[in-house]
Amino acid sequence: MTNKIYLAGPISAMDWPDAKAQFNRMAEYAIMQLGFAEVCNPVDHPPPESQLNDEELWQHYMRISVRKLASCDAILLAPNYHISRGARLERYIAKELGLEIYISPYYPEHDKERQEG
């Protein structure tokens, strides 16, 4: 394995700007505070090539996520990961694969406060 961490948390359950801000802050934390060299960020997954319904879209992104997660050494969970079906599944897989599991201290509200402050 390489010093790589996967980020997990709600995306579709949040407004896109909030989700993107939370994941970017988590990526910064993974590198600067946890010392990981590489971050797999699900907000960077490629979009599907065709129109999909909500469930098909979720499955599309989860297939990418599971492949990327399996190549990582650890997972960093958003503190609100429990509201996401996908993040709960990613946590389960990470645990079963023996990956290190971290919880991010950053909520989306922190990013809003930084922008307003």
Predicted TM-score of the model (pTM): 0.85
Number of domains in the chain: 1
Q: Can you tell me the distance from the alpha carbon of 26 to that of 8, in angstroms, rounded to the nearest whole number?
A: 9
Q: What is the DSSP letter of 53?
A: -
SS3 34: coil
CATH code assigned at 58: 3.40.50
pLDDT, average across residues 94-106: 94
Q: Measuring CA to CA, how many Å separate 47 from each of 11, 58, 62, 82?
A: 14, 11, 12, 24
pLDDT digits (tens, 9 = 90+) for 48-96: 888 999 899 899 999 999 999 999 999 999 998 999 999 999 999 999 9
pLDDT digits (tens, 9 = 90+) for 54-67: 899 899 999 999 99
Q: Can you tell me the distance from the alpha carbon of 86 to that of 75, in angstroms, rounded to the nearest whole number?
A: 13
∠56-30-57 over CA atoms, to 5°? 5
Domain of residue 95: give its range: 4-116
